[in-house]
Amino acid sequence: MFRVRVVPYGRLAKDSPISSEGMEVSLPEGARVRELLSEVGLFDEEVRSVVVNGRRGRLDQKLRRNDVVEVHG
């Protein structure tokens, strides 16, 4: 298991189960962005773009320990 931080932006900052300050999430090794979204109660269709550690990300991108994932909706 490892931890990442997820931070919502745009509409997701208001309408998602994630607080606008973000939250820490524990994931199994090899987890991808799509699995993170599922873990925090978001659907792929709600997310317009993903940024991982300041760079454009993908839903199928593998995550690593201490990544910061911004989800824009």
pLDDT digits 0-9 by tens, 14-70: 888 888 889 999 999 999 999 999 999 999 899 999 999 999 999 999 999 999 999
- Choose between 9 and 18: higher pLDDT: 9
Determine the pLDDT at residue 23. 95
d(CA 53, CA 66): 9
CATH number at residue 14: 3.10.20.30
**Number of domain units in the chain:** 1
User: Which pLDDT value is given to residue 61?
Assistant: 98
Confidence (pLDDT) at 15? 82
Segments forming the whole domain that contains residue 30 = 2-72
Which pTM was predicted? Answer: 0.93
Q: How far apart are CA 34 and CA 32, in angstroms?
A: 5
